[in-house]
Amino acid sequence: MADKVVPSDEFGRIEARGIDFIPPDERHGRPRQLFAVWAAANINYLYIVLGGLLTVFGLNVWQAMAAVVVGNLYWTAIGAMGTSGPAAGAPSSVIMRAMYGTTGNRFNLGIFQWPVFIAYEAINLCLGALAGFAVVEAWGGSLPTAARVAVVFVTAGVTLTISVYGHATIMRMSGVFTVMLAAAMAVLAIFVVAHADWGYQPEAELSGAAMWAAMAAGTALIAAAPLSWGVSPDYARYLPSDTSNKAVAVWTALGGFIPSVLLGGVGVLAGTVIDMTDAQTNLAAIVPAWFYPVFLLVIVIGSVANNVLTMYSSGLYLQAVGIPLRRAVTVLFDGALGIAIACYALFVSDFTTALSGILELSIVLIGPSVAIYVTDQWLRGNRYDGVALNDVSSRGIAWYTRGFNVAGLSALLSGAAAAALFVQNDEFAGPLASALGGADLSWLAGPLVASCVYIAVTKLCYPTRKPDTGLPVSTNWFRTRSVSTSLDQIDQPHVHELLRANIWHLRGRDRDLIVDTGLGVASLRRHLPHLFERNPVVVLTHGHLDHMGGAHEFPCCWAHDGEPFHTPPPGSLYHRPLADELGIDAEDFSITSPILMDAVPRAEFVVSEYRLQPAPEIRWLADGAKIDLGDREFTVLHLPGHTPASIGLFDEAGGALFSGDVVYDDILIDDCVGSDIGKYRDSMQHLIDLDVTVVHPGHGDSFDGARLREIASAYLERVVSH
C-alpha cells in the first residue's frame, strides 16, 4: 500500500488545508504563539490615526485615552472567539454554520462579512501605498500614476505571497513583523511623547451631553477595529483540542489589546500638537528628518502584516460561501479584488473621512456578528464538531430549517437594525442617536440586541436540538442477548456495523470472563454494572478502538504484548478519519452519514471529542496461556494477521472459540495498518485444524464450526488465487 500524503502546515510550504477539519495528528503549536500573530497585525499606523481623530472629535487627552481603552475592551470577545478554533479544528467561517445554518451562513458571509473584509483590505492597501508614495517623495522623487499603481501591486504582492503560503508561514512571519514594528513604533512613541501637550484642551471644551456624545462616537470608532477581527479561530484551529481555553483567549486578546491601546494613546498625544486629519504628513513636524522615511516604511510593513490575516481569512470565507477552489486560489482572487478597489479608492480626495465612515458604519454588521458568536459559544459550552460542520448536505447538523438557523439570522438582522438606530457619523445619523444629542451607541446596542434575540429565538425554535451533532439521545445504548444461560452477547445498536463490536460476558463458577469492551462512548459501569460484580477477567482480543474502547473502566485487562495498548491511536467516530487511521478503503463500507453513529448516549456527548483511552493496567497473555473460570478453562491462541498480535480464546473441552476479529461471518479485513496476509493465512489454517464447535466472533452473531471452516477455507482460496 502506497504511503499517503498528509497535508502539512509547515513554514515555506503552501498550506494544503482550507476550511476542512484539522485532524488530531496535524495539530501543533502553543497558545502563546497567538500573541505575535495579533500583535503583528495590530502594531499598525491605523491605530495612531484613530487615536488622533479622537482629538478632532473635541475630546481632551484623558477623555480620548478613556475612549481608546473602553473601545479596545472588545478584544476580550475576540479572545473568547479564538477558543472555538482548537475545539472545532475549523475556521470561523465553518463554525458560523452552527449559528446561521449551512445556507444561511453563505448569506451571512457573502453579503455581510466578506464585503467588510474586502473594504478593510482596500483600506490597508491604500495606507501602505500612500506611505510608499511618500517615501519616494521624501527622497526627492516623484511618481506618475502608473508608478503609483505599481507600488500598490508590489505591496499587495508581498501580502498575497504570505497569505497564500498560509498558516505556518503566517505564524513564523508574525514574530518577525512584531519585533520590527514594535521597535520602530517604540522610537516613534518616544518622539511623540517628547512633544506632547499633556495639558491639551480642545478649542471648544465639551461638557454635558455634547461631551458624552463625542465620547460615544470616539468609542464607536475605536471599537470598530477589534470587532473587525472576528476570525481569531482561524489562527488557533491548528492547536491541539485539549489546549487551555484560557491561554488561547488571553494570548489572543493581549496580542490585540496591548498594541491597539498603546498606539491609540500615541495617536491621542500626537493629536495634541499636530492636525491628525493628515497624520502621515504632519507627523514629519515632530520626528527627526532621518526617522520620517523609516516611519513611512513602517506604515508599509504594518499594512502588509495587517492585510496578511485579512486576505487569508477572506479566502477561507470564499471557500465557506461555496466557491469550489483551493484556499490558495481563493486568496489570490480575493487579493485581486482588493487591489482593484484600492486603486479606485486612492483617487478619493478625503481619505481620512472615508476611512472614518467605513469603520463606523461597519459596526452595524460586525458588532452583532461577534455578539452572536460569543453567545453561541456560551450556549454550547464552546463545543463544536468541526467534521460534522463541514457536511453541507441536508443530512448535516447545520441544516436546521431548510439550511437556515432562524435564531442566527434574526439576531443578526435585529442587531444590525438596533445598531443602525444609534449610528452617528457624517454619512448617516440614526434617529435614536439624533434623539440623544448625537451619541453613537451602536457599539453597545447592536451586540446587546443580537445576543438577547439569539438566546430567545434559539430556545423558542430549537429547544431540544443537540448543538454539535444533531443526533438524538438514546438511553438504551447497549443491547444484550442471551446466547445461553451463562453467556451474553452485548453490542451497541446505534453504532455503525464497522464499529459495532461484540462484548462477550461469560459467567463462570468462580469468576466471570469479559471478552472485549466495546467502543467506549457510553459507560459500561453506568449502563451494565453487573459486569463489574465478580472481579471479571477482562481480555482484549486486539487493540482496535471498537474492542478496547471501554477498557479504561476496568482496573486491569489482559492482552498480547504485541498490540499498542499503552499508546493507542486517538480513534475517531467519523468515517473517513477513521478509515485513514486504520489504513482501510473508506469506500468499502456503506456509509450514509460521516458520523458512525445514529444517536448519542447522552445529551452532552461531543462526537469530535471522542478519544481512545488506554487501560490503567495491562497484563500480558502469551500463546498457550490458560484462563481458568472454575468450571471451564480457555487457552490463549496467538492469531496474528488482522493485527500484529490478535488473540482468541479456545475452550478445548467444550469447543467454544472467542475469535475477536480474526474470523466472523462477513468480509474479513486484512489490509489495515499492521495487517499481515501471510500471518493471517497461517492463523486461518490453525483454526481449520482445531475442533471448534461454536464461534463467538468480534462482530455479528455466533456460528458453528462448519461455518468457521467454510469461511477460513474461502479466505485461503482467495489469498492463494491472488
The verdict on residue 470 lying in a domain is no
Q: State the Cα–Cα distance between residues 80 and 68, nearest whole angstrom.
A: 20
Choose the final residue of a domain: 434, 462, 490.
Answer: 462
Structural domain boundaries enclosing 28? 24-462
The verdict on residue 471 lying in a domain is no
Q: State the Cα–Cα distance between residues 498 and 699, nearest whole angstrom.
A: 9
Q: Which residue has the cell 451474553?
A: 488
CA angle 367, 370, 373 (to 5 degrees): 150
Q: Are residues 362 and 483 in the same domain?
A: no
Is-above-0.85 flag for pTM?
no
Residue 171 in this model has a pLDDT that exceeds 90: yes
Which DSSP letter does residue 479 get? E
C-alpha closest to that of 373 among 115, 117, 85: 85
pLDDT value, residue 386: 80
Q: Are residues 93 and 216 in the same domain?
A: yes
User: To the nearest whole number, what is the mean pLDDT of the chain?
Assistant: 86
Q: How confident is the model at residue 465 (pLDDT cuts 50, 70, 90)?
A: very low
Render pLDDT for 44-70 as a digit per residue (tens, 0 to 9): 888 888 888 888 888 888 888 999 999
The verdict on residue 431 lying in a domain is yes
Residue 466 in this model has a pLDDT that exceeds 60: no
Contact 296/280 with Cβ under 8 angstroms?
A: yes
Q: What are phi and psi of 356, to 5 degrees?
A: -60, -45
Compute the average pLDDT of residues 530-540.
92
Q: Are residues 255 and 391 in the same domain?
A: yes
CA end-to-end span of the chain:
15
Q: Are residues 365 and 501 in the same domain?
A: no
Please report, for the domain that includes residue 442, its CATH number. Answer: 1.10.4160.10
Compute the average pLDDT of residues 87-111.
93
Q: State the Cα–Cα distance between residues 441 and 221, nearest whole angstrom.
A: 11
Q: State the Cα–Cα distance between residues 700 and 697, nearest whole angstrom.
A: 7
Render pLDDT for 122-147 as a digit per residue (tens, 0 to 9): 888 888 888 888 777 777 667 776 77
Compute the average pLDDT of residues 28-49.
91
Poorest-pLDDT segment among 262-271, 628-637, 657-666: 262-271
Compute the average pLDDT of residues 471-488.
91
Q: State the Cα–Cα distance between residues 578 and 583, nearest whole angstrom.
A: 8
What's the one-letter identity of residue 419?
Answer: A
pLDDT value, residue 586: 59
Q: Which triple of cell numbers denotes residue 685?
A: 489454517
Q: Are residues 450 and 490 in the same domain?
A: no
Largest CA distance in the chain: 104
The verdict on residue 441 lying in a domain is yes
Q: Are residues 530 and 413 in the same domain?
A: no
CB atoms within 10 A of CB 586: 14
C-alpha closest to that of 528 among 579, 492, 561: 492
Render pLDDT for 298-330 as a digit per residue (tens, 0 to 9): 888 988 999 999 999 999 999 999 888 999 999
Render pLDDT for 541-574 as a digit per residue (tens, 0 to 9): 999 999 999 998 888 999 999 888 877 777 888 8
Looking at the chain, the number of H-run helices and the number of E-run strands are: 27, 13
Poorest-pLDDT segment among 17-21, 163-167, 434-438: 434-438
H helix intervals, 474-561: 524-527, 545-548
pLDDT value, residue 348: 57
The verdict on residue 398 lying in a domain is yes
Q: State the Cα–Cα distance between residues 607 and 597, nearest whole angstrom.
A: 9
What's the one-letter identity of residue 147?
Answer: A
Contact 210/217 with Cβ under 8 angstroms?
A: no
Q: State the Cα–Cα distance between residues 259 and 185, nearest whole angstrom.
A: 10
Contact 659/698 with Cβ under 8 angstroms?
A: yes
Q: Are residues 239 and 355 in the same domain?
A: yes
Q: Are residues 346 and 273 in the same domain?
A: yes
The verdict on residue 18 lying in a domain is no
Q: Which triple of cell numbers denotes residue 479?
A: 443491547
Choose the final residue of a domain: 409, 436, 462.
Answer: 462
Residue that wins the pLDDT comparison between 532 and 353: 532
Render pLDDT for 224-281 as a digit per residue (tens, 0 to 9): 889 889 999 999 999 988 899 999 999 999 999 999 999 999 988 988 888 777 767 7
pLDDT value, residue 344: 76
Q: State the Cα–Cα distance between residues 212 and 59, nearest whole angstrom.
A: 10
Q: State the Cα–Cα distance between residues 451 and 375, nearest whole angstrom.
A: 6
Residue 2 in this model has a pLDDT that exceeds 50: no
Q: How confident is the model at residue 360 (pLDDT cuts 50, 70, 90)?
A: low
Residue 640 in this model has a pLDDT that exceeds 90: yes
Contact 438/217 with Cβ under 8 angstroms?
A: yes
Residue 627 in this model has a pLDDT that exceeds 60: yes
H helix intervals, 271-404: 279-282, 291-321, 327-345, 351-380, 386-389
Q: Which residues pair with 8 in a beta bridge?
A: none
Helix, strand, coil shares of the chain, percent, nearest 5, are: 55, 10, 40
The verdict on residue 372 lying in a domain is yes
464-494 core/surface letters (b: 16 or more CB in 10 A; e: else): eebbbbbbeebeebbeeeeeeebbbbbbbeb
Q: Which residues pair with 627 in a beta bridge?
A: 634
* Residue 288, Cβ density class (10 Å: 0-12 exposed, 13-18 middle, ≥19 buried): exposed
Q: How confident is the model at residue 148 (pLDDT cuts 50, 70, 90)?
A: confident
Q: Which triple of cell numbers denotes residue 698?
A: 468480534
Q: Which triple of cell numbers denotes residue 520?
A: 467506549
- Does residue 206 sit in helix, strand or coil? coil
The verdict on residue 189 lying in a domain is yes
Count of residues for the chain? 722
Q: Are residues 270 and 356 in the same domain?
A: yes
Q: State the Cα–Cα distance between residues 160 and 181, nearest whole angstrom.
A: 19
Q: How confident is the model at residue 4 (pLDDT cuts 50, 70, 90)?
A: very low
CA angle 158, 229, 265 (to 5 degrees): 90
Compute the average pLDDT of residues 437-444.
79
Q: Are residues 425 and 505 in the same domain?
A: no
* Residue 268, Cβ density class (10 Å: 0-12 exposed, 13-18 middle, ≥19 buried): buried
Total tally of structural domains belonging to the chain: 2
Q: Which triple of cell numbers denotes residue 411?
A: 439576531
pLDDT value, residue 95: 96
Please report, for the domain that includes residue 619, its CATH number. Answer: 3.60.15.10
Q: Are residues 651 and 715 in the same domain?
A: yes
pLDDT value, residue 454: 96
What's the one-letter identity of residue 620?
Answer: W
DSSP annotation string for 302-318: HHHHHHHHHHHHHHHHH
C-alpha closest to that of 661 among 483, 515, 507: 515
pLDDT value, residue 349: 52
Q: State the Cα–Cα distance between residues 581 and 260, nearest whole angstrom.
A: 44
pLDDT value, residue 5: 37
Render pLDDT for 694-716 as a digit per residue (tens, 0 to 9): 999 999 999 999 999 999 999 99
pLDDT value, residue 6: 42
pLDDT value, residue 8: 62
Render pLDDT for 182-232 as a digit per residue (tens, 0 to 9): 999 999 889 988 888 877 777 777 677 777 877 887 888 888 889 889 999
Render pLDDT for 605-625 as a digit per residue (tens, 0 to 9): 878 778 787 787 899 999 999
Q: Are residues 511 and 408 in the same domain?
A: no
CB atoms within 10 A of CB 569: 17
DSSP annotation string for 190-205: HHHHHH--TT---SS-
Compute the average pLDDT of residues 481-497.
95
